[in-house]
Amino acid sequence: MTAPGGPRLEAEGLARTFGAQRAVDGVSFRLDPGCVLSLLGPNGAGKTTLLRILAGGLRPSEGVVRLGGEALDTRSPEWQSRVGVLSHQGFLYGHLTARENLRFYADLYDLDDASDRVEAGLDSVELTPRGNDEVRTFSRGMKQRLALARTLLHEPDVVLLDEPYTGLDAHAAAVLRGVLETLRDGARTVILVTHNLTEGLELADRVAIQVRGRWVVDAPSAQFDAATIHDRYREVVEGAGGGAP
Amino acid sequence: MKGYLGQLGAVVRKDLTQELRTRQRLATMGAFTVLVGVLFNFSVDPALVSMQDIAAGLIWLTLIFAGVMGVGRTFSLEAEDGAFQGVLLSPIPRDALYLGKVAANVVLVSVVVALIVGVFGLFFQLDYGAHPLALALTLFCGVVGFVALATLFGAVTAGTTLGESLLPVLLFPLLVPMVVYGVGATNRLLMGRPLTEVEGNIRILGAFAVAAVAVGAGLFRHVVED
């Protein structure tokens, strides 16, 4: 069942309810390794909730997630060791150095070659010269670059990115974009949640639009250009009574 | 098992490194301990009350109050930049995470207990000479039992709107057995009574500590996960 280069990510009927509210409502998809999916949608559409389910931070009320054909509990260590998450929060400790932060996470993921991976991670986001500085002295962009290194430290099969560009300066955004480009190596699947339609379209092989917990669009990105993605988005979101991107 | 211990050790190292850099909790607990010693020194008339008689109770209550101030902040310190969420998204077994936090907190509270013993010994002229090792063992069992429960309930209260102010309300009733046997043993040791009189108390304190750690390790997952 494993596709060349990495395992296929599948979800079937994923749902999550909070009381009477269905934040995620029957989401199903199948993503081949190497695929970058941009998940778009208005505020409150349930995108972050879906990402939290896939990250293992929230138990789904219904549905199943498969990786390489194997149904996995997203709260299990087996799943969590194969998923990397980058959100607008870096999950970093301000009073630890950049190197210590990465080493801490390398140990949590029980990586054998932790020291080498930490150095490679720092190098990949151009932070080697600041490796021994405490993270609280870093700018927002540097923290986000370090968070990206943390996300990829254990070479996850599935990378989940929740608004990774929020608050980044041009240089940090360029570094982040460069690293994301390297993720198109055919070995991993990337899901990018963003409000920026153009950016989401540029990076993606597929685009999905989630409104009120449901995927109302799921199509190859080649079907859209910068103009048509806005038109399509406005059409489905306004049609469903959703908000602005 | 090597992976488990490595993950546990990473949590201990991280917590202690953070504390060594910030000294937030140690400074608070240490200042509280010294102030309590000073205040009791002036509030008790040694002509009427022997300090040796009440020292055991003061030691244990100071341990608990100072400990709550420090251990209660374990999880609020993790909230910065969502760091604890990142830890929970990693594959570290939840009991390893809990035991790592307990181990780090035991180190911190043990430092404070050493300060308590020093400060109270200085102010109240206490004689620890008769059975210092038995006294150390008694206090250590108390520290482990206290920290095990305080760390678990610290995780519970960190997710509530009342936060750390709720911790004593939940925690203190569960500490009653520990205080009863701990104060009893400490009192006798400070009085220079034979070890045979306190062996039972120390065994019960040890059992309390082991039970508290086991219960905490078993329940922690349910406390921190959705």
Query: Would you say residue B82 has pLDDT above 50?
Result: yes
Average pLDDT over residues B43-64: 89
- Quick one: closest CA in B to A153, which residue? B90
Pairwise CB contact (< 8 Å): B90 & A96? no
* Contact with chain A for residue B87, Cβ under 8 A: yes
Residues of B in contact with A105 (CB under 8 A): 86, 90
* Contact with chain A for residue B83, Cβ under 8 A: yes
Pairwise CB contact (< 8 Å): B85 & A57? yes
> Residue A85: which of B7, B80, B89 has the nearest Cβ?
B89
Residue to mutate among A52, A104, A146, A148, with most B CBs inside 10 A, is A104
Domains and CATH numbers, chain A: 6-82+156-245 (3.40.50.300), 92-155 (no CATH)
Asked if A208 contacts A215 with a C-beta cutoff of 8 angstroms, the reply is yes
Asked if A210 contacts A45 with a C-beta cutoff of 8 angstroms, the reply is yes
Number of domains in chain B: 1
Q: Residue B73's pLDDT is what?
A: 86
Average pLDDT over residues B176-184: 96
Average pLDDT over residues B124-148: 93
Query: Would you say residue A4 has pLDDT above 80?
Result: no
Q: How confident is the model at residue A239 (pLDDT cuts 50, 70, 90)?
A: confident
**A243 or B59, which is more confident?**
B59
Distance from CA of B194 to the nearest CA of A (A): 47
Percent of chain B having pLDDT more than 90?
A: 75
> Residue B90: which of A58, A92, A109 has the nearest Cβ?
A109
Query: Would you say residue A14 has pLDDT above 90?
Result: yes
Query: Would you say residue A237 has pLDDT above 70?
Result: yes
Torsion of CA A58, B97, A138, A43, to 10 degrees: 10
Type of residue found at B226: D
Q: Residue A169's pLDDT is what?
A: 79
Q: Residue A200's pLDDT is what?
A: 84
Give the span between the Cα atoms of B57 and A37, in whole angstroms. 63
What distances in angstroms separate CA A76 from CA A159, B46, B47, one per listed residue? 17, 60, 64
Interface confidence: ipTM more than 0.85? yes
Mean pLDDT (chain B) is 92
The three state secondary structure string of chain A is: CCCCCCCCEEEEEEEEEECCEEEEEEEEEEECCCCEEEEECCCCCCHHHHHHHHHCCCCCCEEEEEECCEEECCCCHHHHCCEEEECCCCCCCCCCEHHHHHHHHHHHCCCCCHHHHHHHHHHHCCCHHHCCCEHHHCCHHHHHHHHHHHHHCCCCCEEEEECCCCCCCHHHHHHHHHHHHHCCCCCCEEEEECCCHHHHHHHCCEEEEEECCEEEEEEEHHHCCHHHHHHHHHHHHHHCCCCCC
Asked if B109 contacts B147 with a C-beta cutoff of 8 angstroms, the reply is yes
Asked if A205 contacts A219 with a C-beta cutoff of 8 angstroms, the reply is no
Residues of B in contact with A103 (CB under 8 A): 10
> Residue B6: which of A58, A107, A134 has the nearest Cβ?
A107
Q: pLDDT tens digits, residue range A134-173? A: 999 999 889 999 999 999 999 999 999 998 888 777 887 8
**Domain around B119:** 2-224
How many of the other CB atoms lie within 10 Å of CB of B24?
14
* Contact with chain A for residue B88, Cβ under 8 A: yes
For the record, the structure tokens of B166 come out as: 């709720």
Hey, is B181 helix, strand or coil?
Answer: helix
Residues of B in contact with A100 (CB under 8 A): 14, 17
Mean pLDDT (chain A) is 90
Residue to mutate among A110, A135, A159, with most B CBs inside 10 A, is A110
Pairwise CB contact (< 8 Å): A108 & B13? no
Q: Residue B225's pLDDT is what?
A: 86
* Contact with chain A for residue B10, Cβ under 8 A: yes
Q: How confident is the model at residue B77 (pLDDT cuts 50, 70, 90)?
A: confident
Pairwise CB contact (< 8 Å): B81 & A90? yes
Nearest to A202 by CA among A177, A185, A183: A177
Residues of A in contact with B14 (CB under 8 A): 93, 96, 100, 104
For the record, the structure tokens of B21 come out as: 């850099």
> Residue A96: which of B14, B87, B89 has the nearest Cβ?
B14
* Contact with chain A for residue B225, Cβ under 8 A: yes
Q: How confident is the model at residue B208 (pLDDT cuts 50, 70, 90)?
A: very high
| Residue A170 CB partners (closer than 8 Å, separation 6+) | none
Give the span between the Cα atoms of A48 and A52, in whole angstroms. 6
Mind giving me the DSSP string for B62-97? HHHHHHHHHHTTTTTTT-GGGHHHHHHTS---HHHH
Q: How confident is the model at residue A3 (pLDDT cuts 50, 70, 90)?
A: very low
What pTM does this model have? Answer: 0.91
Q: pLDDT tens digits, residue range A212-224? A: 999 999 999 999 9
Pairwise CB contact (< 8 Å): B86 & A94? no
